[in-house]
């Protein structure tokens, strides 16, 4: 199998699993307990927190473990909006956020918050000027993703954060796609709250983190209960998950430069090769440094992405359309619509996302198979015939 859906999830590293294993049966103690078995868990969580903090060039006390990227997004946005609601009820986000942000914002709209969904340009970039124009007296929170999950566009978060701070506005970023893939330093990038997830960086599923700056650490809990995570996130800690996430962070820190180099070369190789082999294609998103190293998103005129994905799967290739599939059809991606594609175009695009083990041979084989599949789908498309 050729797995090219690493933006959806990654295969856990063997080293990560090895590090987790003792915490299922051997060291199963509750980290809040006083006896030695509990201390083993507590210590393991401390180590994981240090490793996660190191990847963000920050202090361990700024890191709060959660059940994943979605919970971190919900927590940051809901609780920051509520904390600041005496000052105002206007929130700013982009129109290309992950559903974990978009749908959280919509839930707040139902509670009476006023949300501006900023447009993006044809590459998927949020302009700093558009953020400046959207800021009002009553704006309390801006949430703009670090990098987009469908088209890989890297947003100017440092500048947006700076602007937010000039106006006393809290700044959250969904960094789930960028975390461990490109360097991030929340302090230097004016980030108050940052969401990340373990399973996108070769760690286990069901664990993530929220980074909170000193200013943002006043936000209240989303999950109420016991005093875990310094009274900020209740629930008995997922010790094996947190240990695995910590190991994944450590591996990510030590390999980030070589992975960025290698994956962007492979990405550009594929992006360059497809139009040479297959006519009538186009790239969605930005080129070069404004794009995540492992993200490729290409439109193929006169095909249906959904049919192509099924045929690719039959040849052992796992790819994605980038947007949610519902039975029998692919909803046109809100991200592709936001960059100006029409509904047909939004249904003819495929996303290929690389891992640190993807090879050039795998990409060559994928292009060969794509060429056949696209040719076949076009030959049965009356619009293409005409």
Q: Is 93 in the site for ligand PLP (CB under 6 A)?
A: no
Min dist. Cβ of residue 302 to ligand PLP (A):
29
Q: Which of 325, 340, 344, 372 is catalytic?
A: 325
Nearer to ligand PLP among residue 151 and residue 370 (C-beta): 151
With contacts defined by CB under 6 A, how many residues of the chain interact with ligand PLP? 15
Min dist. Cβ of residue 148 to ligand PLP (A):
7
Nearer to ligand PLP among residue 256 and residue 280 (C-beta): 256
Task: List the x/- string, 51-90, binding to ligand PLP by CB under 6 A.
Answer: -----------------xxx--x-----------------
312-371: contacts with ligand PLP (CB under 6 A): none
Nearer to ligand PLP among residue 195 and residue 281 (C-beta): 195
Tokens, residue 306: 């959904």
325 in catalytic set: yes
Nearer to ligand PLP among residue 38 and residue 206 (C-beta): 206
Nearer to ligand PLP among residue 98 and residue 347 (C-beta): 98
Q: What is the 3-state secondary structure (H, E, C) of the chain?
A: CEECECCCCCCCCHHHHHHHCHHHHCCCCCCCCCCHHHHHHHHHHHHHHHHHHHHCCCCHHHEEEECCHHHHHHHHHHHHHHHCCCCCCEEEEECCCCHHHHHHHHHHHHCCCEEEEECCCCCCCCCHHHHHHHCCCCEEEEECCCECCCCCEECCHHHHHHHHHHCCCEEEEECCCCCCCCCCCCCCCCCCEEEEECCCCCCCCCCEEEEECCCHHHCCCCCCCCCHHHHCCCCCCCHHHHHHHHHHHHHHHHHHHHHHHHHHHHHHHHHHHHHHHCCCEEECCCCHHHECCCEEEEEECCCCHHHHHHHHHHCCEECECCCCEECCEECCCHHHHHCCCCHHHHCCEEEEECCCCCCHHHHHHHHHHHHHHHHHHHHCCHHHHC
Residue nearest to ligand PLP (CB): 69
Task: List the x/- string, 167-206, binding to ligand PLP by CB under 6 A.
Answer: -------x-xx-------------------x-xx------
Nearer to ligand PLP among residue 209 and residue 370 (C-beta): 209
Min dist. Cβ of residue 60 to ligand PLP (A):
21
Task: List the x/- string, 204-243, binding to ligand PLP by CB under 6 A.
Answer: ----x-----------------------------------
Q: Is 291 in the site for ligand PLP (CB under 6 A)?
A: no
The residues that touch ligand PLP, with contacts defined as CB under 6 A, are 68-70, 73, 98, 100, 145, 149, 174, 176-177, 197, 199-200, 208
């Amino acid at each position: 199998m050729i797995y090219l859906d690493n933006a959806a999830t990654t295969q856990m590293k063997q080293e990560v699993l090895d590090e987790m294993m003792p915490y299922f049966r051997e060291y199963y103690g509750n980290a809040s307990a006083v006896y030695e078995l509990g201390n083993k868990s507590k210590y393991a969580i401390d180590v994981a927190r240090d490793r996660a903090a190191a990847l963000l060039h920050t202090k361990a006390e700024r890191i709060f473990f959660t059940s994943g990227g979605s919970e971190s997004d919900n927590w940051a946005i809901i609780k920051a909006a509520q904390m600041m609601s005496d000052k105002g009820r206007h929130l700013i986000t982009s129109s290309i956020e992950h559903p974990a942000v978009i749908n959280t914002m919509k839930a707040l709209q139902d509670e009476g918050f006023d949300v501006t969904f900023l447009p993006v340009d044809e590459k998927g970039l949020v302009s700093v000027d558009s953020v400046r124009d959207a800021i009002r007296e009553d704006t309390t929170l801006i949430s703009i993703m670090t990098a987009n999950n469908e088209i890989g566009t890297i947003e100017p978060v440092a500048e947006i954060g700076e602007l937010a701070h000039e106006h006393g506005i809290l700044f959250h970023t969904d960094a789930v796609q960028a975390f461990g893939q490109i360097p991030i330093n929340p302090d230097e990038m004016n980030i108050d709250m940052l969401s990340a997830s373990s399973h996108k960086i070769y760690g286990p599923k069901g664990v993530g983190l929220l980074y909170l700056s000193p200013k943002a650490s006043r936000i209240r809990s989303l999950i109420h209960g016991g005093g875990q995570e310094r009274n900020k996130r209740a629930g008995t800690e997922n010790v094996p998950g947190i240990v695995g996430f910590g190991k994944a962070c450590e591996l990510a820190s030590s390999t980030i430069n070589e992975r960025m180099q290698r994956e962007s070369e492979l990405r550009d190789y594929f992006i360059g090769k497809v139009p040479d082999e297959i006519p009538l294609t186009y790239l969605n998103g930005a080129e070069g440094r404004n794009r995540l190293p492992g993200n490729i998103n290409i439109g193929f005129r006169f095909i249906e992405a959904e049919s192509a994905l099924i045929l690719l799967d039959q040849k052992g290739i796992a790819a994605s359309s980038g947007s949610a599939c519902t039975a029998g059809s692919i909803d046109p991606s809100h991200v592709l619509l936001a960059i100006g594609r029409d509904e047909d175009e939004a249904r003819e695009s495929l996303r290929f996302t690389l891992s640190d083990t993807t090879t050039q041979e795998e990409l060559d084989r994928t292009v060969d198979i794509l060429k056949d599949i696209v040719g076949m789908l076009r030959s049965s498309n009356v619009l293409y015939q005409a």
